[in-house]
Amino acid sequence: MATQPLTVALFQLTSIDDSAINEAEIFSRLEEVRSLGGASLMVLPENSLYLRLDRQASVKGLELTDPVLARLSTYCRQHHCEILMTTPLRENGRLVNATLRLRGEATAEVVYRKIHLFDVDVEGAPPVRESDEFAPGTTPAMIEVAGWKVGLSICYDLRFAELYNRYGKAQVDLIAVPAAFLVPTGRAHWEILLRARAIENQAYVLAPAQGGAHRSKSGASRETWGHSMIVGPWGEILAEAKGENPPRVLRLTLNPTQIETVRRQIPQAGHRRLS
């Protein structure tokens, strides 16, 4: 288990289908974090650098050689921090929805590929079929950040408890859930599922989300739920981007003793009976 506090920052973005505009917004949020005192780990929502708005258009997938990733890596090196950013990525001739780790190295590292693809037809929102464009990932993934064990996931993964059970058994300290939830499903399920994942696994949950009305220059638009959230290992909401003008950055120092306290009171790890 982690032994030292970790200061994190979550970004709530309203990304569009223009990577240059999205990059400028990300750097604006990075400067906001600096003004608040900085953070060791910053986690960005799903589709941070590209969010398709025209459903007839093809998805733009980044390459790991894209200059924006080099600029973000330089920022991490200069400011001694890490970024987890989720965005469409072109990899070996296919598109994947991938979480990239940037920490000042020459090349961004792909640390997770979204396993569960969003193929749904929800009342009140247009049908979505991610599998028409994306190849699924196949493997859960964990990384270590400043001594904290982090379980990785993306958006629709949130509905599949078996993924998070893997992380719970591994005694992760925190779980990342970058997302771009639809409004109907966000209103009904977002908070409930995030708090459940924290309670089940007695870990912090970091859930940065796309939020607001996304409009491209061509006039295409969509809306996402937002409500980015940091949830504690007891299931309590520690920070949330809500209200008419929600904060675009959530910054908090996570204390590992909170994890220890919860696990001591309810020692779930020793009570598991099913694999």
Catalytic member of 23, 46, 130, 191: 46
- Tell me the residue type at 260: E
Q: What is the DSSP letter of 219?
A: S
- Is 114 a catalytic site residue? yes
Catalytic, 155? Answer: yes
Rg for the chain, CA atoms, rounded: 18
What is the token pair recorded at 167? 């992380």
In contact, 182 and 125? CB cutoff 8 Å: yes
> What is the spatial distance between Cα 208 and Cα 180, in angstroms, rounded to a whole number?
9
Q: How far apart are CA 57 and CA 62, in angstroms?
A: 15
Of the candidates 75, 46, 30, 81, the one whose C-alpha atom is nearest the C-alpha of residue 190 is: 46
Q: What letters, b where the CB count within 10 A reaches 16 and e where it falls short, cover 146-185?
A: eebbbbbbbbbbbeeeebbbebbeeebbbbbbbbbbbbeb
Nearest-CA neighbor of 82 among 137, 148, 164?
A: 148
Identify the active-site residue in 76, 155, 191, 240. 155
Distance between CA atoms of 159 and 74, rounded to whole angstroms? Answer: 35
Choose, from 23, 76, 82, 114, the residue flagged as catalytic: 114
Q: For 61, which DSSP code?
A: P
Task: Name the residue with tokens 């929805």.
Answer: 97
Q: What's the gap between Cα 152 and its chain centre?
A: 8
Q: How far is CA 195 from CA 101, 105, 232, 239, in A?
A: 25, 34, 8, 12
What 3-state DSSP class applies to 59? coil
The residues annotated as belonging to the active site are 46, 114, 155
